[in-house]
Structure 1
Amino acid sequence: MSGGKGKESGEVRNNRDWMSQLPAELHTIPLYNLAVPGSHDSMSYDLDINSSIVEPDRLKRFSKLYCVRQIVRKWAVTQEATITNQLDAGVRYFDLRIARKPNDTNPTRLYFYHGLCTRTDVETVLRDICDWAEWHPKEILILDLSHFKGFDEKNKAQLHKHLINFIKTTFGAKLVLNSASPTLKSCWTQGSNVIVSYDYPTSQHPELWTKIRYYYGDSMDPTIIESKLAHVLEKERPYKYFFVCGLNLTLPNDARALKYVLRLCDNFLNVIQRSLFKLLQWVKQQSAKTPVNIVASDLVTRNNFVTTIVEFNRKHVKAQ
C-alpha cells in the first residue's frame, strides 16, 4: 500500500518527499531532534510460511508442522506494505532483524525474520532501498540492523564481514559517517542520505553507527505501553543521539500468549489496528510535553500514522 491514497481509506497522504519539504528552520538542526516515522519489524509482511521457526525458542521443535508455522506467521506479521511502499508512504526508519537459515547451501545468504524468515534475502532488499535512496536524494533513511540470529561462533565473523562489505559497496557515498551530528543540510551538501545502525561492534567502520536504543512497552495493553513510554521520554531518553519510541504491541513470552493466539478468527494485524488510534492519540499529546525522535509503529500505512509524526516537526517550528 502506498502513501498516496486518500483520507477515506485510513491511509496516509503522499509523504514521499516530506523531508525535503520541511521548513528551512529545520534544515540545520540535528536529525535526532526531528520527529521521524519508523516501522517496527519492517519486513514482516514477507514472512515465508515454508521457513523453519526462528522464534520463540519453545516452538522451534515444531517447525515441521504446517499448522504451527501458520499460527506463528499469523501472530508475527506486523506490516502489510512492502519496503518500497513504506518508503513512498514517508517511513524513514526501518527495524531490520537479520537471520541466517540453518543448513542454507549459500554460506553468506541472509534473510530478515520475525518468528519466521522472509522469502526475500537481505541483499535484494538493501539494493531496493539503495535504488529508492538514489531517486530521493533529500530523504534521509535510517536502517537499523540487529539481532543476527544464526550467527554462531563458527561463522559470525565471516557473516558480519560479508554483510558489512556488502553495505559499504552497495550504498557507497550515500552512507552518512558516524563522526558528526548530521542535519538535513549537511547530508544534502555531502550527497549522503543513508544512516546504517549496526548492532555489533564495528569501530573500524566509520560508515556504520552504533545501536539505536529502541524503547517499547513490552505489553499488549496500550495503557501500559503509554505509561512506560511516558516514563522513558520524561526520564531516560538520550539527548544527543537517535532513539526510538516504539508504539508496537508485544505478545507475552510465556503461556499467557495463548490468550491471543488461540483466537481462531483473529490475528495480530487486527489486534494492532484496534489499538493504533489510541496509541497515536497518546503520542500526539505526549509530544507536546516531551520531544520525540523516531516513532515506530506497526501498520505504518494506516490511521495517518506518518502524517501524524511528520506534523510534529511543523509544530516544533511554531514553538520557536
Structure 2
Amino acid sequence: MSIVSDVQSSLKELPLDSWMGSMPSALWDVPLWNLAIPGSHNAITYCLDKSDHSPVDLAQPDLLQKMDKYMKPLIRPFLHKWGVTQELTVKEQLDCGVRYLDLRIAHRPNDTSADLYFYHGLYTTLTVESVLQDVRAWLDAHPKEVVILSFSHFMGLNPDLHTGLISTIRNIFTSKLCPTTKVVTLRSLWSLGYQVIASYEHSIVHLHCDLWPHIPYWWANKCKAQDLIELFEHRKQQGRPGGFFVTGINLTVDLRYICSHPTESLKDVVMFSNPALQSWVRAQVPGSHTSSLNIVAGDFVSESDFITTVITLNEHLLNGSM
C-alpha cells in the first residue's frame, strides 16, 4: 500500500470523539486555522420549543408573527420542521467529531429573568448556561480535544446581559479558555491546558483578551447546491482570511420556498443537496492560499459522511500540499 493510501486510511479511521488527540504528530504544529475542522451550523436547534407558551423569535417575518397569534397549532409545527438544523444533542455532536459550534444567542421577549436561550424560528427549551455546562463536562472527559465556540446574533441582549454571558463563559470554562494569540496549534494548546476558543460577535470583545473576535462565516444565502458552490468558487479566487474562518455549506430557504414546498422540511432539502455539497468539499485543500476551507459547518452533521469527509482532508497537509 502506498504512503498516500496509508494516510487516507489512518485519518478515516480516527476515533471521532477524540480525533484531534489521535492526529498524527506531524499535524500537532499546524495552526488550527490551516486544519480542516468539522462544524455545526446553528448547533442548538435540537430542542426548539414549539409549545404555546413560548414565543416565536423576533427575527421572523411580521406575517408569521401575526399568524402565530391565531394559528399556533398550524404555525408551530411548521416553524419547527424548518427551524431544526441539528437533531443530535451538543454532547452527541461533539462525540461524532464536531469541533465548532455556531451558537446564536437570544433573550426571550418579556422574560424578566436573565436567562439566555438559542433560537432559530423558535426559542430553545435549554438555556445557554446549561448547554455550556454540557460542553465543559465533555471537555473534562476529552482533555486533548479543542472546541471553537462562536457566540453571535445576540437577539434582545442589553449591556448587562452581555456582561452576564461573558461572566458565565468564564466561570464555566475557567482556565480552559484560550486567550487571543497569534498562532494556536494542538501542541501549544495541550501544553497550556487550553481547550476552548470563544469568539464573540460584538464590539465588547475588544475589552476582553480571553475572547476572540468574530470568526468570519462564508454564507452563500442560496437554496440550491450548485449556486452555493459557484459562489464559493468565486470567493476562493479572492484568497482566504488570515486566521479562522467558516465555510457554511448550509442552504437558505426563504418563506416563498417554504410555502411552495408545504410537505417538505429543512432536512429534506439538506439530504437532497448533500451528495453535491460533499463532493465539492472532498475536492478542497485546507491550508492553501486559495482554499475555501478551514472550518466547514453544515446542517444535520451526523448524516452521510460529512464529518469524516472534512477530517480526512487533512491528509493534504501530511502529503506536503500545504
TM-score under structure 1 normalisation? 0.89
Q: Which residue of 1 aligns with 2:160?
A: 158
Moved over 4 A (4+): none
1:137, 1:192 within 8 Å by CA — same for their partners in 2?
no
- The Cα of 1:298 is off from its aligned counterpart by 0.5
| Pair 1:69–1:13, CA change in 2 (3 A) | farther
Q: Which residue of 1 aligns with 2:313?
A: 312
Secondary structure class of the residue paired with 1:282: helix
Separation in 2, partners of 1:219, 1:236:
21
Q: Which residue of 1 aligns with 2:3?
A: none
Structure 1 stretch displaced more, 296-305 or 71-80: 71-80
Secondary structure class of the residue paired with 1:251: coil
- The Cα of 1:123 is off from its aligned counterpart by 0.3
User: Could you tell me which of 59, 63, 70 is aligned with 2:68?
Assistant: 63
- The Cα of 1:236 is off from its aligned counterpart by 4.2
Q: Which residue of 2 aligns with 1:123?
A: 129
Matched, 1:212 2:229: no
Q: Which residue of 1 aligns with 2:56?
A: 53
Q: Which residue of 2 aligns with 1:276?
A: 274
**Gaps (5+ residues) in structure 2?**
1-12
2:248, 2:296 within 8 Å by CA — same for their partners in 1?
yes
Separation in 1, partners of 2:171, 2:79:
35
Separation in 1, partners of 2:296, 2:84:
19
Q: Which residue of 1 aligns with 2:262?
A: 264
AA of the residue aligned to 2:98 = V
Matched, 1:147 2:150: no
Matched, 1:231 2:234: yes
Matched, 1:101 2:99: no
Q: Which residue of 2 aligns with 1:4?
A: none
2:225, 2:276 within 8 Å by CA — same for their partners in 1?
yes
AA of the residue aligned to 2:279 = Q
AA of the residue aligned to 2:190 = W
AA of the residue aligned to 1:40 = H
Matched, 1:134 2:140: yes
Q: Which residue of 1 aligns with 2:10?
A: none
AA of the residue aligned to 1:281 = S
TM-score under structure 2 normalisation? 0.89
Structure 1 stretch displaced more, 190-199 or 66-75: 66-75
- Which deviations, in whole Å up to 9, do the C-alpha atoms of 1:133-161 show, x marking residues without a partner? 1111111100000000112xxxx110000
AA of the residue aligned to 1:267 = S
- Which deviations, in whole Å up to 9, do the C-alpha atoms of 1:170-219 show, x marking residues without a partner? 10000011123111001000001101010112222111000000002111
Matched, 1:167 2:169: yes
**Gaps (5+ residues) in structure 1?**
1-11
1:99, 1:148 within 8 Å by CA — same for their partners in 2?
yes
- Which deviations, in whole Å up to 9, do the C-alpha atoms of 1:262-281 show, x marking residues without a partner? 43321111111110111000
AA of the residue aligned to 2:253 = L
Secondary structure class of the residue paired with 1:104: coil
2:18, 2:142 within 8 Å by CA — same for their partners in 1?
yes
